[in-house]
Amino acid sequence: MKICFVTDLYPTIGVAAGVGSYTHTMAHAMAARGHEVHVLLPKYAKSYDVMDGLVRVHVRWARWLPVLERWFPGLGTSVCICAALWVLQRKYHFDAVEMPSEEGLGPFSVAFRIAPIVVRVHLAPSERARSLRQNTGGRFTTWLDWTTIRMAKVVATPSCSESGIVSKECPRRIINTVYHGVVVPANTCSETALRVVYVGTIGDSRKDVKTLLDAVSSVLKAHPKTEFCLVGNDSGHLVETQFRNSNPEIPKDSVRFVGRVSKEEVMTFLESCAVYASAATAESFGLAVVEAMACGKPVVACAASAMLETVEDGITGILVPPHDPSAFAEAIIRLLVNDELRLKMGQAARKRVLDKFTDAKMAENYERFLQTTLGIGRSA
């Protein structure tokens, strides 16, 4: 097959997380199965092509029109992507193109049927809208996302919970679940400290970092040597400033706001932690959670959304009620004080990823999905 993935983020060309990390992993996993894989990446820079291993990356200039983007964010980029994809399709004749529903990237490409297109919903627009500014631009972006999904013939989601949300709002679409996968480290690394790690956007309301931070005080009282590391973008350091002002008695070394780092540094934090903690209430899959599990780390997460599918409560981690700092703190303390339980859950977490959420299994399932929904097979 010849496959093209469209994304606005890609880790080898700038720092990327979430959609960008997924695209990189999927592209390389599909290339490893013998497919010809391309990535189309809009950037406000000159156009060029570059090889990323077996994956050919096409960076294309996306015209920036400040007035248009202010009121209609994503519209100009969507037009540029449509034009670039049309040129690439005439040259390479893709069997399938995967387009994300986010950021309004795909409506023109889907509307004009540039190629056989699969729209992947990483997060339903109704959920994403909760974390967007509800001004004219935010509402327009949400409308573009829904328009892309509703025009698509085939939709893929990373979890059954996300499929359920999309199917309720777009009941006539062909919606399939293809779980994300992660690259599993060859060996697990022992924890270097009683460190609790979270990876993700700090200020996103869906991630509910406030619940995690509200649990810090209780955990430190029980285990003063515990170190919390929050890895991810904290726009304007607003969350950190608010936390420091509200908790002046907590040493800075006990709670570190690391900021945005490279993928390699993220993996270093995951490999060195004792517990991975996420209080997110709306995860479409939870890549960082599964990456931590792949490193052999137990997880404390909320019993909501895709966490009910990825984390086995009491086996690979502990699930707690959403927005409950006390329960969150108790779960973390339970793992910190019990070395045997922490090790046992970590081993079970790694085994679950090996059984269900590897990059190879993701690629195999995605190949089957394309064959079934688009009627295409492997090229020679």
8 Å CB contact between 48 and 59: yes
pLDDT digits (tens, 9 = 90+) for 106-148: 999 999 999 999 999 998 887 777 665 555 667 888 888 889 9
- Residues 138, 125 share a domain: yes
Residues 343 and 292 in one domain: yes
- 209 plus 160 within the same structural domain: no
The residues that bridge with 58 in the sheet, in sequence order, are 40, 49
Which helix (H) or strand (E) segment holds residue 302: the answer is strand 299-302
Specify whether 210 is located in the same domain as 125. no
Answer yes or no: do 216 and 299 share one domain. Answer: yes
Domain of residue 25, CATH code = 3.40.50.2000
Q: Whole-prediction pTM value?
A: 0.93
DSSP class per residue in 169-221: HSTTSEEEE----BPPPSS----SSSEEEEES-SS-GGG-HHHHHHHHHHHHH
pLDDT at 31: 98
Length reported for the chain: 380
Residues 120 and 143 in one domain: yes
Q: By the 8 A CB rule, do 39 and 132 touch? A: no
Residue 234 lies in a domain: yes
Same domain, 30 and 103: yes
Contacts of 323 by beta carbon, 8 Å cutoff, 6+ apart:
208, 211, 279, 281
Does some domain include residue 379?
Answer: no
Q: What is the pLDDT along the chain (380 residues), one digit of tens a residue?
A: 999 999 998 998 876 678 899 999 999 999 999 999 999 999 877 899 999 999 999 999 886 666 677 778 788 888 899 999 999 999 999 999 999 998 788 999 999 999 999 999 998 887 777 665 555 667 888 888 889 998 998 999 999 999 999 988 787 677 899 999 999 998 887 777 899 999 999 988 889 999 999 999 999 999 999 999 999 999 888 999 999 999 999 999 999 999 988 888 999 999 999 999 999 999 999 999 999 999 999 999 999 999 999 999 999 999 999 999 999 999 999 999 999 999 999 999 999 999 999 999 999 999 999 999 988 754 43
How confident is the model at residue 380, as a pLDDT? 35
- Measured distance CA(25)–CA(109) in Å, rounded: 24
Is 84 in the same domain as 171? yes
Within-domain flag for 186: no
Predicted pLDDT of residue 379: 44
Amino acid 137 reads G
Domain match, 149 and 201 both: no
Number of structural domains, the chain? 2
Structural domain boundaries, residue 293 = 195-356
Residues 170 and 297 in one domain: no
- Please indicate, yes or no, whether residues 163 and 199 belong to a single structural domain of this protein: no
Q: Specify the pLDDT at position 67.
A: 66
